Structure 1
Amino acid sequence: MHVYIRVDGSTSIGTGHVMRCVLLAEMLIQAGAAVSFLMRTGQGHLCDWMEQKGFQVFSMREGTFTQSEDADEVIAILNDQARLDWMIVDHYGLDEQWDNKIRPHVRHIAVIDDLANRKHTCKLLLDQNYAPNFEQRYDSLVPSSCQLFLGPSYLLLRPEFLHIRQLVRKRAGNIERLLVFYGGSDPTNETMKVLEALEFSRINGIYVDVVVGNANPVRSAIQEQCARLNFQYHCQIDYLSLLMDGADFSFGAGGVTMWERCYLGLPSVVTIVADNQRESTEATARFGAIWNIGFYDDVCVQDYVNVLHRALINPISMVKMSERALRLLGNSTEAGMHPVVKTILEG
């Protein structure tokens, strides 16, 4: 079986879409499928990094294209391939118009989405987010025959997260280690704002891990700031789960890593850095699994100072947040083949 994945990542888009598709690809490959990626180039793209990881990547032209133009370029690539089983698309700019043009060239289409704001013609749809009425919000957007995998119980998780969850520690609420991570590109530069807040707060006796990706355009400045403040700097790592497990509190964005933090019961303050994160972040905050500090445009350094102070003096709140996060993600796939992978393989 050969699976193709249409996804993009860049400094402006971020890397979350690519990272969750890489995880799904690794699961499929482990189960015996062949996987290829179709990705546009551009500032902060991850094509080279993915090729270094061993994936076959078809690099598409840099720029902005209509759905029809995008589909034409994909079809030109597919026409040179011998086997065309599944096309997985994880892209907010593509909908049923793109699907319908691709359909004659592949057996099945699968969609990964978060927004539930456009129609798709697909056999399978995955939305692993928690949101109001998440089980019904695609009812009018996909064919009745589409298999839906909705909610945190279908969270895509790397094996190390599953292992750590089995051994996850009960958090005492005291903060001795902080984690700062705003995604691979951090287009709103929240990392620097948090570093300023930590410096202003003059925290003593607290170990700080700061994580960035290769797509972060100011990573060198962040590294210099970390060295000056005696914080530990990490770039494009594959051990984020260990840092989450070791941390007592975290600063981060919404999206995939918010769910990973919740899965390990890590208390965190979440900044909404894109409109597509708003609904799930607000719903998760209402559940009590995170603190929502708001949309990045409205968040300043002093806000981060204030929320850190609030966390430091409220260990009971930290314990309760951890418990709520674990409860929210309690039914996530713990072992065995992920249902989406199984469905794709059964084709």
Structure 2
Amino acid sequence: MTAAPLRSGRRVRVLCEASSTTGLGHFVRSVALARALTARGAEVEVLLRPDALPRAREAVAAAGLDLGTGDWNAVALPSDRPVDVVVDSYRVTGAWLAALHGALRAAGGRLTVVDDLADRAFTADVVVNQNLGAERLPYPGAGTVLAGPVHALLRPEFPATRAAALASAHRLPDVPRSVLVLFGGTDPSGMTGPAAHAALAAFPGATVRVIHPAETAPDPELAAHPRVELLGPRPEVHRDMLGADLVVTAGGTTLWELCCLARPAAVVAVAGNQTAVYDGMGAGGYVLPLSRAPERSVPRLAARLAELTGPGRLREVALAAATVTDGSGTTRVAEVLLA
């Protein structure tokens, strides 16, 4: 069956993770969707858990969104008009989602679930899975499934700079002169340091820019290195991506941002839930597959980086990556929800 879409003017609550243990991927994509829904007339509030990072709460305000308060279990309580809910969390069960869906439907609301794994049995009006190969995953309890990177939930600055990024991809060098190391907003795997040292060893002529989480102290050896620039959290990270000839990163939501911007990415799958995307993206030639699991041996990482690059390789991978998503997935999803 086809789910009845949300209507402009309805109240929407977006529940997403934003802690040091879950990372900020859920948060970034959920806020992107919240902004798109707000721009189309919905009244949106973002509801975070108590363990959410303070900078996530600050980012909600900076995006011009309302930060909701209260228990996630109370989101479906009857109000003066129906509430629609978007959930993006691995830490809720299928039974919890099914119960929420039932309560919302009884009150005239609808449930959208942003999912990556299809590892829970639940019911929902809409499921969004932005990963490569998601169309092959079963969601028998979903009314509508929006699958694949064509629905990747990216911030508007990415599609806005895509044309310039595509033009620059044709000018990428054979050997990177500038490498960006980026392992998400919190880097729970601890891969930032080993990856940065490996990039320095693999590309002795390159500048290495390292984005490290605000909650961790910078590596003093990296901080003292003349070819390293240490950076904190970057609200406009798309500019840093555009300035890089190669990005060393994890296999999470950052990949779709890099694909939109036609940036070659050397990827480490830092968690088990990233391996399917890692395998698919590597097999398709959309990324440089650096390691299928966290690898902290700098010599091995450096050797693999050097092996993966060569004449024309960065340009080839960048242009292939650009075919994966055009960056307009947030618009597509919002239009389905608010049609």
Give the structure-2-normalised TM-score: 0.85
Q: 1:308–1:294: structure 2 CA closer, same or farther, 3 Å change rule?
A: closer
The answer on whether the counterparts of 1:293 and 1:299 sit within 8 Å (CA) in structure 2 is no
Residue aligning to 1:56: 66
The answer on whether the counterparts of 1:188 and 1:296 sit within 8 Å (CA) in structure 2 is no
How far apart are residue 191 of structure 1 and its match? 0.8
Query: Which of 265, 268, 282 pairs up with 1:268?
Result: 265
* 1:206-257 alpha-carbon deviations (Å, 9 max, x no partner): 222222343xx32x32477335444222222122111212211110001111
How far apart are residue 110 of structure 1 and its match? 0.2
Q: Which moved more, 1:248-257 or 1:233-242?
A: 233-242
Query: Which of 315, 319, 322 pairs up with 1:319?
Result: 315
Residue aligning to 2:118: 116
The answer on whether the counterparts of 1:245 and 1:266 sit within 8 Å (CA) in structure 2 is yes
- Secondary structure at the residue paired with 1:232? strand
In 2, distance between residues paired with 1:195 and 1:301? 9
Query: Which of 23, 31, 40 pairs up with 2:49?
Result: 40
The answer on whether the counterparts of 1:223 and 1:233 sit within 8 Å (CA) in structure 2 is no
Residue aligning to 1:338: 331
How far apart are residue 124 of structure 1 and its match? 0.7
Residue aligning to 1:26: 35
How far apart are residue 305 of structure 1 and its match? 1.2
* 1:20-76 alpha-carbon deviations (Å, 9 max, x no partner): 00111111111121211222122746553235424333456xxxxxxxxxxxx4243
Q: 1:227–1:129: structure 2 CA closer, same or farther, 3 Å change rule?
A: same
Residue aligning to 2:88: 90
Residue aligning to 1:6: 15
Residue aligning to 1:67: none
Q: 1:278–1:6: structure 2 CA closer, same or farther, 3 Å change rule?
A: same
Q: 1:127–1:223: structure 2 CA closer, same or farther, 3 Å change rule?
A: farther
Task: Report which structure shows greater RCO (CA 8 Å, sep ≥6).
Answer: 2
Aligned length: 321
* 1:89-135 alpha-carbon deviations (Å, 9 max, x no partner): 1112324411232232451000101111222211111111102xx32
The answer on whether the counterparts of 1:3 and 1:34 sit within 8 Å (CA) in structure 2 is yes
Does residue 283 (structure 1) correspond to residue 292 (structure 2)? The answer is no
The answer on whether the counterparts of 1:270 and 1:293 sit within 8 Å (CA) in structure 2 is yes
Query: Which of 226, 239, 244 pairs up with 1:242?
Result: 239
Does residue 100 (structure 1) correspond to residue 92 (structure 2)? The answer is no
The answer on whether the counterparts of 2:250 and 2:269 sit within 8 Å (CA) in structure 1 is yes
In 1, distance between residues paired with 2:308 and 2:243? 17
* 1:306-345 alpha-carbon deviations (Å, 9 max, x no partner): 1332355x03222221222122335x538xx722211222
How far apart are residue 147 of structure 1 and its match? 1.3
In 2, distance between residues paired with 1:159 and 1:223? 35
Residue aligning to 2:145: 148
The answer on whether the counterparts of 1:199 and 1:229 sit within 8 Å (CA) in structure 2 is no
Residue aligning to 1:69: none
Q: Which moved more, 1:14-23 or 1:191-200?
A: 191-200
Q: 1:308–1:30: structure 2 CA closer, same or farther, 3 Å change rule?
A: same
The answer on whether the counterparts of 1:262 and 1:322 sit within 8 Å (CA) in structure 2 is yes
How far apart are residue 193 of structure 1 and its match? 0.9
How far apart are residue 172 of structure 1 and its match? 3.3
The answer on whether the counterparts of 1:178 and 1:209 sit within 8 Å (CA) in structure 2 is yes
How far apart are residue 274 of structure 1 and its match? 1.2
How far apart are residue 6 of structure 1 and its match? 1.4
Identity among equivalent positions (%) equals 25
Where does 1:64-83 land on structure 2 (aligned, <5 Å)?
A: 73-76=71-74, 78-79=76-77, 82-83=80-81
The answer on whether the counterparts of 1:10 and 1:43 sit within 8 Å (CA) in structure 2 is yes
Structure 1 gaps of 5+ residues are: 61-72
Does residue 192 (structure 1) correspond to residue 193 (structure 2)? The answer is yes
Does residue 301 (structure 1) correspond to residue 298 (structure 2)? The answer is yes
